[in-house]
């Protein structure tokens, strides 16, 4: 079982790119 930890930096959160960042991280481990 794989436990994935995804998140964004404060700068990314403020820039509103959270979904893109999380999607990219999820795709990277999928």
pLDDT at position 7 is: 67
- In terms of phi and psi (left: phi > 0; alpha: psi -120 to 50; beta: otherwise), the region of 16 is left
pLDDT at position 24 is: 82
pLDDT at position 27 is: 82
pLDDT at position 23 is: 81
To the nearest 10°, the Cα dihedral for 15, 18, 21, 23? -150
pLDDT at position 26 is: 81
**Which pLDDT tens digit goes with each residue over 1-30?**
676 666 666 666 666 667 777 788 788 776
What distances in angstroms separate CA 9 from CA 2, 6, 25, one per listed residue? 22, 10, 13
pLDDT at position 29 is: 73
């Amino acid at each position: 079982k794989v436990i994935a930890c995804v998140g964004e930096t404060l700068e990314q959160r403020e820039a509103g790119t959270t979904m893109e960042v999380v999607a990219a991280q999820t795709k990277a481990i999928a």
